[in-house]
Chain A
Amino acid sequence: MTRKGSPFKGAMTIAMKEAADHMTSARMHLIMLLVMLSATGAVYGAIGRITETTAEDPFLFLKLLTIAREPLPSFAALLGFLLPLVAIALGFDAVNGEYARRTMSRLLAQPIYRDAVLFGKFLGAMIVLAVALLTLWLLMTGLGILFLGLPPSAADVVRGLAYMAATLAYAGVWLALAIAFSTMIRSPATSALAALSVWLVLTVFWGMIAPLVAGAVAPIDPLDPMTMVTQYETQQAIARLSPQRLYGEVAAILLDPAARSISPLFFDQLQGAIVGAPLPTLQSLLVVWPQLSGMVAAMILLFTLAYVAFQRQEVRA
């Protein structure tokens, strides 16, 4: 059956309303404050270490994001850990919250399709995430200029922007997950708990689970050294089911121009390579293209799951 009219009519209106709601909500203010303070702390620590140990580096501003000073992790590691929380906070009650407020039937009785509601909510939260990330990046760059006394190089800016785009895709995965839970679970508190449980497993425990599973799936034969490689690759493949692992690999390559691979390398593969020489940004992007595609695919898959569940839902509230 064909339906008349655009499925996206009203999506932008919903997106802007959602973005405005998020930006003015106390929940968002608190969590962004936490992220800002931690990120500022991490970068400030990194600046301290850079001024103490680094004489000259063409990618100083990228180092700001990757260097850690105890007890704080690096800015990139911090984002990988905290950003899912921000995304979950934006999406855990996107759909079931409308039911809880009894606004869903009135909203769907407006001349719009359901598609617009879900797409608008996703887009609204993505706008907020993009604004927050851009602000954070500009803030960090500003701090860098202030304390290092140098402007960022063009390569710093390009790689930084590519990293921010990858970070947005990473946040999108968690946002889509949170929206999928909010579509399938009627209680906002339960959907928040479900999303946080997945986050905890994939962020904290997955690194421990992957070697265990790899050990069982691809055991090492002491007489065959290649089985070690097989097990390591299996472990990597399992670990990459976690968006955090994918994101970590993307960050490692984009923020370190000297990094050439995220997989095990043999000496013959490095023949002719000048160790420590930076890769062009495009080459770095090509190295992590599968990881980037993986994150975007996970985001689309989870959003599709939410979409199908929402389309099939009976609307009574």
Chain B
Amino acid sequence: MSNRAIDAKGLVKRYGSTIAVAGVDLAVNAGEVVGLLGPNGAGKTTTILMLLGLTEPSEGSVRILGKDPLRQPLEVKQEVGYLPDAVGFYETMTGRENLAYTARLAGIPQDLARERIGAALDKVRLSGVADRRVATYSRGMRQRLGLAELLMRNCRVAILDEPTSGLDPQSTQELLALIQSLSQHGMTILLASHMLNVVQSICHRVALFNKGRIGFIGTIEELADRIGGGAFVIDVEAEGVDLSTLSARTDGVKSVVPGRRGHWLVEANRDVRPELARLVVEGGGSLRNLDLRRAQLHQAYNRYFAEVGHDA
């Protein structure tokens, strides 16, 4: 049995003469968290709508858990949860009533729904306010209620569109922790966001959208490596040597950026800490710090779009 949760091939969406999505191939394995990144108008939301079966592709095919969202929309939607940017709920209903309503739409038996709603509200820490009208909820609480809906419905795939936009830092952290726990429970998550630190903190892979296509898909390290910066960033602090000239000859090093006095940031496509340590020692210097950092998504992202350019 295939481990593929989402499989989109050659997706194209045209609106008259405008091409919103120009051939997207996207494969996501079960349990993976994949970030969809790219400037506004790059085709992320249209791709999401096609995956959900809410808009029909002009060309191409989609399979969600092996099912076609256009031919088997009810079966697909039974398994897929969607949390749009600034999710809307019926304001005159309580949080619990909103969930009960979607449970009825999903065909979940009343007793089971009651049980699942209670558990989901506990999980997102909204039990205390579940019987208050949604009109009184903050934006963060609404987003958490949206996640509770996905939990209540026992979705196997979740598509989250800008779930943290407009949230304060604490709410963002709480929501990220929840999303991570969903992933740990085996849920496949597709996350579209402009908040690169959010994506970096929870995504296994990223897909960069540009001009209606996916220009790159892979891990952040692979992205950093591909665009020339290097997947490994090493913070070196040393005295008595000039690492800029010494390390440039080391195999695997892509760039050396001098910082304040005695500091360098070395970008490499592998872990070159042993070589750097040896160079400092052999150069007669003294090594004070050698710190390996993950490649930063925002740097790789900016560099990628500086390299390929975009219209947005």
Interface residues of A (CB under 8 A from B): 1-5, 9-10, 13-14, 17, 21, 24, 101-113, 314-317
- Among A107, A109, A315, the residue within 8 A (CB) of B55 is A315
Query: Could you tell me which residues of chain B, from 77 to 119, have a CB within 8 Å of some CB in chain A?
Result: 77-78, 80-84, 86-92, 101-102, 104-107
- What is the CA–CA distance of A10 and B105 in the complex, to the nearest angstrom? 5
For residue B104, which residue of chain A has the nearest CB? A13
> Which label, helix, strand, loop or mixed, suits the secondary structure of the A interface?
loop
Q: Does B45 contact A (CB under 8 A)?
A: yes
| Cβ contact within 8 Å between A102 and B84 | yes
Number of A-B contacts (CB under 8 A): 87
> Which label, helix, strand, loop or mixed, suits the secondary structure of the B interface?
mixed
- What is the CA–CA distance of A3 and B71 in the complex, to the nearest angstrom? 5
Q: A103-B88, A108-B54 are in contact. Are A13 and B101 (CB under 8 A)?
A: yes
- What is the CA–CA distance of A4 and B81 in the complex, to the nearest angstrom? 19
| Cβ contact within 8 Å between B81 and A109 | yes
- 6 A-B pairs with CB atoms under 8 Å apart are A17-B101, A21-B92, A106-B146, A110-B105, A110-B106, A317-B84
How far apart are A177's CB and chain B's nearest CB, in angstroms? 25
| Cβ contact within 8 Å between B105 and A109 | no
| Cβ contact within 8 Å between A5 and B73 | yes
| Cβ contact within 8 Å between A13 and B105 | yes
| Cβ contact within 8 Å between A9 and B74 | yes
Chain A residues within 8 Å of B49, by CB: 314-316
- What is the CA–CA distance of A81 and B289 in the complex, to the nearest angstrom? 85
Q: A4-B74, A5-B73 are in contact. Are A110 and B102 (CB under 8 A)?
A: yes
| Cβ contact within 8 Å between A106 and B71 | no
| Cβ contact within 8 Å between A106 and B77 | no
Interface string of B47-74 (1 = CB under 8 A from A): 0010010110000000000000011111
- Among B54, B70, B146, the residue within 8 A (CB) of A315 is B54
- What is the CA–CA distance of A104 and B45 in the complex, to the nearest angstrom? 15
| Cβ contact within 8 Å between A101 and B90 | yes
User: How many B residues face the partner with a CB closer than 8 A?
Assistant: 33
Beyond contacts A104-B88, A113-B74, A316-B49: 4 other A-B pairs, Cβ-Cβ < 8 A, are: A5-B73, A101-B90, A103-B90, A106-B146
How far apart are B193's CB and chain A's nearest CB, in angstroms? 17
Interface residues of B (CB under 8 A from A): 45, 49, 52, 54-55, 70-75, 77-78, 80-84, 86-92, 101-102, 104-107, 146, 149
- What is the CA–CA distance of A89 and B77 in the complex, to the nearest angstrom? 32
- What is the CA–CA distance of A230 and B202 in the complex, to the nearest angstrom? 78
How far apart are B19's CB and chain A's nearest CB, in angstroms? 15
| Cβ contact within 8 Å between B84 and A1 | no
Chain A residues within 8 Å of B71, by CB: 1-4
How far apart are B191's CB and chain A's nearest CB, in angstroms? 16
| Cβ contact within 8 Å between A109 and B75 | no
| Cβ contact within 8 Å between A103 and B105 | no
| Cβ contact within 8 Å between A4 and B82 | no
Q: A5-B74, A13-B101, A21-B92 are in contact. Are A105 and B84 (CB under 8 A)?
A: yes
Chain B residues within 8 Å of A317, by CB: 84, 88
The 8 closest A-B pairs by CB, nearest first: A102-B88, A109-B82, A5-B74, A103-B88, A111-B77, A110-B105, A111-B78, A13-B104
- Among B45, B52, B73, B101, the residue within 8 A (CB) of A113 is B73
How far apart are B230's CB and chain A's nearest CB, in angstroms? 38
| Cβ contact within 8 Å between B82 and A111 | no
| Cβ contact within 8 Å between B90 and A3 | no
Chain B residues within 8 Å of A102, by CB: 84, 86-88
- Among B55, B72, B84, B104, the residue within 8 A (CB) of A314 is B55
How far apart are B91's CB and chain A's nearest CB, in angstroms? 7
- What is the CA–CA distance of A110 and B80 in the complex, to the nearest angstrom? 9
